[in-house]
Amino acid sequence: MIHITAQMRVLVAIEAVDGRKGIDSLVRVCQEKLSEDPIGGCVFIFRSRRGTSIRVLAYDGQGYWLAQKRLSHGKFRWWPESSSPAKALEAYEAQLLMAAGDVSRVRAAPIWRRVNAVA
C-alpha cells in the first residue's frame, strides 16, 4: 500500500485517463500532460473515464508503485475542477478521495507551517 503522509506532495490529474494504462504510460502522462517529474517525490492520482476507479502512482527511490481502487458499486462522485491539468491536494484530502468521499464537504485545521523533508 502507498502511505501518504502530510509532508508528501499530492497531485490529482483533472482529465480522466484510460484505465488500461500501466506504469510507463502514466509516467508519460505525468511528464507530457502534467509537466511534472514522476520521480520527484510526488504522488499522482488518476481517475478512469467511467469514474469507477482511481490509480495512484508513486516513486519511492527504487521504483514505481501503482495502486488501483475500483468501486464495486457507483462512481467517485467528487473530482477536482481546475483550469490547469492537475490540482494539488493535502494528504487528508487524498485519503478521503481514495475512500470515495466528498473532499469539498470536509475541512481540516489549516496547515500553519509545512514541514519540508530534508534530502
pLDDT (mean) for 63-86: 92
Query: Do the domain assignments include residue 72?
Result: yes
Bridging pattern class, strands 53-59 and 42-47: antiparallel
Place of cell 514522476: 38
For the entire predicted model, the pTM comes to: 0.85
Domain count for the chain, please give it: 1
Residue 68 belongs to domain spanning? 9-103
Q: How confident is the model at residue 58 (pLDDT cuts 50, 70, 90)?
A: very high
Percent of the chain with pLDDT over 90: 58
Q: How many residues does the chain have?
A: 119
Query: Do the domain assignments include residue 94?
Result: yes
H or E element at residue 29: helix 23-32
Count of H helices and E strands in the chain?
Answer: 2, 5
Query: Do the domain assignments include residue 118?
Result: no
30 contact partners, CB below 8 Å, separation of at least 6 = 36, 37, 38, 44, 57
Query: Do the domain assignments include residue 108?
Result: no
Distances (CA, A) of 99 to 33, 44, 55, 75: 26, 16, 13, 11
Query: Do the domain assignments include residue 56?
Result: yes
Q: How confident is the model at residue 5 (pLDDT cuts 50, 70, 90)?
A: confident
User: Rounded distance, CA 46 to CA 53, Å?
Assistant: 9
pLDDT (mean) for 85-99: 90
**Could you give the count of Cα atoms lying within 13 Å of 90 in the half-sphere of its Cβ?**
13
